[in-house]
Chain A
């Protein structure tokens, strides 16, 4: 699909799924695009956990070699793929279309500024019980599509998982729905590596 065709579909509420690596996605992506990182071995399985079957999507995949596989695997996940963005982000921007970033926060900055954020933990309840950031709210990634946006009381939401794969999807979903959100890179793995504290027990 040309950038103009993609734009028209977006205006009709069709969702863009962006399968590019995290760093280029965070730098600039189509407004409202959802991030599900390409991985030949499990893109279909992960997408199936995150997005309800039958949702109409347009695929933005780069490099070119990942386009056909991204389209095929998202179709395998039960999504209704209408097409893919021809020419990638280069063609999109050359057509004068806007982009938006996904803010990233490293774990050490989150630790230093923890009070500024509402931490949204998108792991499973058993992971949360085993150890979570003090004050974090729980919203498992598979429930994010249908779940209510957490009340952040004016704070930006810092989305957190064990690494970044699940959190990147949820952060992009919150942004798409107009909520100020950022992605914590490195997740619980890095948090523990730094020796920062965790709380135990179930979510309130």
Chain B
């Protein structure tokens, strides 16, 4: 399945753990269910933090990859509580 285009882009490159996941939480809160967030990070802690956070919060991690020296995470906002 093709990864959908993002609605919002969040650049967390250069931020240390746990700031990428903290900022993703704030960003997603302001989005609507089903919208897609693309997040860029460089701290490798995000590779374990983001899937755990997504599972816990009912959001969906569609994909992550390394691209151009950064980690790219594609997340879809889950249904509102």
Contact = CB atoms under 8 A, between A and B. Distances in A.
A85 to B, nearest CB: 23
B46 to A, nearest CB: 8
Nearest to B15: A42
A166 B18 CA distance: 8
Contacts of B9: none
Interface string B18-55: 11001000000000000000000001111111011101
B56 A163 contact: no
B16 A127 contact: no
Interface residues of B, number: 20
A57 B50 CA distance: 33
Most chain B beta carbons < 10 A, residue from A37, A42, A141, A192: A42
B15 A126 contact: no
Interface residues of A, number: 24
A39 B75 CA distance: 26
Interface string A23-52: 000000000000001010110011001000
A41 B17 CA distance: 12
A188 B48 contact: yes
Contact of B48 (A45, A129, A131, A165): A131
Given A46-B16, A46-B18, A129-B56, 4 more contacts: A127-B52, A130-B56, A166-B18, A189-B44
